Amino acid sequence: MKQSGFTLIEIMIVVAIIGILAAIATVSYNGYVARAQVAEVLTMISPYKLKLIENYSAEQSCVDLNTALNESISTKYIASSEITDVAGTCSVVFTFKSTDVNFGLRSKQIYFSIPDGLDGAWNCQSDDISQRNLPATCRGI
């Protein structure tokens, strides 16, 4: 008598392989989502950075972000923003929301500072966001 179909052990092996592949895919997907959310934030705050550098050029000091923009920043992933002036360097700190963002970004901060000389370039860094989730311009600075 010839058996047809799969044995129990064969089915268990296939299910285990599918489980391993699903675990790998989930981790990769979460990393992709975090990088996409950071990239979207960088795109969304570009107009604010330009306005701030214009204001900084005119005033030679940091001003409140809402005052400089005459509006409040409201993005899908950013909860708050703060401008600081440390040793003559104007820095903008954006804090990610604690919900509705990737778990690797929740309540974490990304900093942008206006270097001396005002050549339009910004320094970018984050102490608490994983380097692999940051764009190349923000890594290792």
Write the pLDDT tens digit of every residue in 66-106: 566 656 676 888 888 887 776 667 778 888 999 999 998 99
* Mean pLDDT rounded to a whole number for the chain: 82
With a cut of 60, say whether residue 112 has pLDDT above it: yes
Check residue 101 and give its pLDDT. 92
Residues 6+ apart with CB under 8 A from 126: 108, 109, 110, 111, 134, 138
Q: Facing residues of 90 across strands?
A: 85, 114
For the domain made up of 9-139, give the CATH fold.
Answer: Glycoprotein, Type 4 Pilin (3.30.700)
- Residue 47, φ and ψ in degrees, nearest 5: -60, -35
- Structural domain boundaries of the chain? 9-139
Strand, coil or helix: 49: helix
- Pairing label, strands 89-96, 109-114: antiparallel
What's at 99, amino acid-wise?
T
Q: Outline where DSSP puts E strands in 8-105.
A: 78-86, 89-96
* Residue 3 binned pLDDT confidence (cut-offs 50, 70, 90): confident
pLDDT (average), residues 20-31: 93
* Residue 15 binned pLDDT confidence (cut-offs 50, 70, 90): very high
Selection from 37-41, 45-49, 64-68, 72-76 with the highest mean pLDDT? 37-41
Check residue 69 and give its pLDDT. 60
C-alpha dihedral over 12, 14, 16, 22, to 10 degrees? Answer: -150
What is the pTM assigned to this prediction? 0.74
